[in-house]
Structure 1
Amino acid sequence: MDRSLVANKTIIARVKSIVGRDSKLGKALGGLEKLQEAKFISKHFSDFLEPVVAQSDSVRDESYTIRHKVYCEELGFEPLRSDKFEKDEFDTFSSPCLIKHRRSGHYAGTVRLVRPQSDEQLLPIEKFCLDSITHETLNPRNFARQDICEISRLAVPLEFRKRQMDKFSGAAIGVINEHTYSENELRCFPFIAIGLYFSAAALVIHNDIKHTYVMMEPRLARSMRFIGIQFEQIGPVVNYHGKRAPFYINPTLLFHNLRPSFRVMLNDIQETVGKYPKGLV
C-alpha cells in the first residue's frame, strides 16, 4: 500500500479514537478515510491495468484466444479448435472488453457484451436456458431487442492467476474468494476480474441498455455481492457447464448497492469506455 496513504490512515485512526467514532468530527474523518481508500483502489487498478473495448479484428482475436485457453484448454467447457479461437454465433453481435496489463502489453482477461440488433438475434440465455427463467416480469422476451444485453464469456488466463490466493476453483471465470479478500486487504483484490465486470457495466451504461442478463454460478453472484454488485436471481439453478442460474441487473440496481470504495474505480472505467463510439464495434 502507498506509504502516504498508510500514514494518513494511521493519523485519521488516532484522531477518531480521541474524538470518538460517532462524533461529528469522527464521522467526517470516517468519510475522508473511505474517500482515500476509494482513490487508492482506482489508482492501483489504473497504474497497472487498462480497460480496452475491441475495435479491430486483431483485438477481437486476442479475446477469442483467451477464451480458448480458458474455456477449451483449461476448463473443457467447449471443444478444442484448430485455430485456437473460441467463437460462436453470438460474437457477430457482441462487443468484447479486455483488460490490458500496461507494463507487458499483454491482455489479462476478457468479457463480452452480447447485444441483439434484430428480432431473430437471441441472447445465449434465451437460446439455451430460457426455460430456466421463471420471473415472468423480467423475461428478456418482454423487452425490445435494443434494450437487452447479456454479459458472458468472462475469462482470466492462467498466467495472470499466479498468486497462491488466486489458485482456487472459479478464478478463471472471475469468482472472488471472499474468504481471502477483505476491504482492508486492498493489495490483494483481484483487480482483473473486477475491472472486467466494471468494463462491461460501463459499456452497458454508455450505450443506454436498460436490462442486463447473465447465466452464472451462484457463488459468482455471491462474489459480486462482496463488492456491492447485487444481481437478482430470476430462476432456479440448472445444469449448464456446471451449476448455473439466470441473473438480472440494471444500472439502477448497480449504483444503488455498489460499495462507495468501488464507485471511484467504476467512474474512472466509465470515463475510459465513454471515449469509444456507441454501438457495436
Structure 2
Amino acid sequence: MNPAQHFQRYFDVCKADSRDSQEQAFRIRYQVYCREFGYEAEENCPDGRERDEYDNHSRHSLLIHKGSQHPVGCVRLVEANPLAPELPLPFERHCAAALDRHRFDPDEFLPGQVAEFSRLAVVAGLRRRHSDQGREINLPQQTLEQRQRRGRFPVIPVSLLLAALSMLMASDADYGVAMLDPQLAQQLRQFGIHFERVGKTIDYQGPRAPYLIHRDNALRYLRDGVGELFFEINRSLYQRPEFANPCAARA
C-alpha cells in the first residue's frame, strides 16, 4: 500500500474555514501545545482552545480520521495581516536571532511574499498508535520503499506538511518558512520535501532552525507515492465539491 492509498483508507483532510472547524483545530492545539508539551500556558487558554492573533489571517486545515470521523491533526499557514501587512510573522517575532540574513532576510521581501507553516499538531493517542513517533521516523538509513514495506512511512505528519504546501500554493505567497527540528528536515528530504536551511539551530519548543521552501520547487523532488499523496490532499482541499468537504459536514 503506497502513501496515497494508506491516506485514502484511513484519513481525510479538509479546509478549516468555518468557525466550528477552526475551533476543532484550536482544541487539538490546546491538547498538544498546552497540556501535553507545555509550549503555551494553559491559563492563557481558559476555554480549552489555543489560539493567537495570527489565526484570523491564516489558512487552516484539519486531518480527519475516517474510522471515527474525529479531527486528529491540524496545521495552519500564516499569511500577512491584510490590515497591517508590515507586521512580522511569528518566526520573525520569536526566532529572528536564528536567521542567517545573508541567506534569507525577511526585510528584503514584499509584504505577503512570505508565509509561515505553523502550529502543526497531532493528537497524542494517534501518534502512539500509528508509526509516527520519533522512534519510528528517526531511521535515516532506511529508504522510502523500506519504510512503506514496514508500515513505517510517517503518513500523518507528512500529510499535514503536504496540506501546508497545498495551502501555500493556493495563497499569494512565493515562499513558505518553517521552524523545523533539523533532524526532521533531513528526514523529509528522503521523501522529496526539500526545505533549505537558512539559519542556525536554537532552543524554541525544542531544537529548531529556520527553513525555506519556494512554491515553484515544492513539488519538484517529491518521491513516487509522496507526489500522489500531495495531489490527493490538494484535491481534497481545493478541488472537491464543497458538499463533500468533511469539515463542512461537521460544522
Alignment TM class, shorter chain as reference: 0.7 to 0.9
How far, CA to CA, are the matches of 1:243 and 1:215 in structure 2?
9
Q: Secondary structure at the match of 1:146?
A: coil
**The one of 196, 202, 219 aligned to 2:160:** 196
Aligned counterpart, 2:213: 249
How far, CA to CA, are the matches of 1:199 and 1:165 in structure 2?
19
Aligned counterpart, 2:88: 122
Q: Confirm whether residue 131 of structure 1 aligns to residue 97 of structure 2.
A: yes
Q: Confirm whether residue 156 of structure 1 aligns to residue 118 of structure 2.
A: no
How far did 1:138 drift?
A: 2.6
How far did 1:182 drift?
A: 4.2
Is the alpha carbon distance of 1:164 and 1:204 closer, same or farther for their aligned partners in structure 2, counting shifts above 3 Å?
Answer: closer
**Residues 115 and 175 of structure 2 are in contact (CA less than 8 Å); yes or no, is this contact kept in structure 1?**
yes
Deviation sequence 1:61-95 (CA, Å, 0-9, x none): 11111111111111111111221111111112111
Higher RCO structure (Cα 8 Å, ≥6 apart): 2
How far, CA to CA, are the matches of 1:103 and 1:166 in structure 2?
18
**Residues 108 and 192 of structure 1 are in contact (CA less than 8 Å); yes or no, is this contact kept in structure 2?**
no
Deviation sequence 1:137-157 (CA, Å, 0-9, x none): 532222222221000111111
Query: Which stretch shows the higher mean deviation, 183-192 or 259-268?
Result: 183-192
Query: Which stretch shows the higher mean deviation, 63-72 or 249-258?
Result: 249-258
Name the structure with the higher helix share.
1
Is the alpha carbon distance of 1:168 and 1:261 closer, same or farther for their aligned partners in structure 2, counting shifts above 3 Å?
Answer: closer
How far, CA to CA, are the matches of 1:46 and 1:140 in structure 2?
37
The amino acid of 1:153's aligned partner reads R
Q: Confirm whether residue 113 of structure 1 aligns to residue 113 of structure 2.
A: no
TM-score computed with the length of structure 1 as normaliser: 0.76
Q: Confirm whether residue 218 of structure 1 aligns to residue 211 of structure 2.
A: no
**Residues 61 and 85 of structure 1 are in contact (CA less than 8 Å); yes or no, is this contact kept in structure 2?**
yes
Is the alpha carbon distance of 1:211 and 1:165 closer, same or farther for their aligned partners in structure 2, counting shifts above 3 Å?
Answer: closer
How far, CA to CA, are the matches of 2:22 and 2:160 in structure 1?
15
**Residues 201 and 207 of structure 2 are in contact (CA less than 8 Å); yes or no, is this contact kept in structure 1?**
yes
Which 4+ residue blocks in structure 1 deviate beyond 4 angstroms?
A: 179-182
How far did 1:276 drift?
A: 7.8
**Residues 131 and 154 of structure 2 are in contact (CA less than 8 Å); yes or no, is this contact kept in structure 1?**
no
Q: Secondary structure at the match of 1:274?
A: helix
Aligned counterpart, 2:245: none
How far, CA to CA, are the matches of 2:173 and 2:103 in structure 1?
17
**The one of 217, 234, 237 aligned to 2:201:** 237
Q: Confirm whether residue 92 of structure 1 aligns to residue 74 of structure 2.
A: no
Is the alpha carbon distance of 1:254 and 1:164 closer, same or farther for their aligned partners in structure 2, counting shifts above 3 Å?
Answer: closer
How far did 1:240 drift?
A: 1.6
Deviation sequence 1:181-208 (CA, Å, 0-9, x none): 8423423322111110111101111224
How far, CA to CA, are the matches of 2:174 and 2:121 in structure 1?
24
Aligned counterpart, 2:4: 42
Give the alignment's Cα RMSD to 1 decimal: 2.2
How far did 1:164 drift?
A: 7.1
Aligned counterpart, 1:267: 231
Instruction: Provide structure 2 residue ranges, at least 5 long, that are not aligned to the other structure.
Output: 242-251
TM-score computed with the length of structure 2 as normaliser: 0.85
Instruction: Provide structure 1 residue ranges, at least 5 long, that are not aligned to the other structure.
Output: 2-39
Identity %: 31
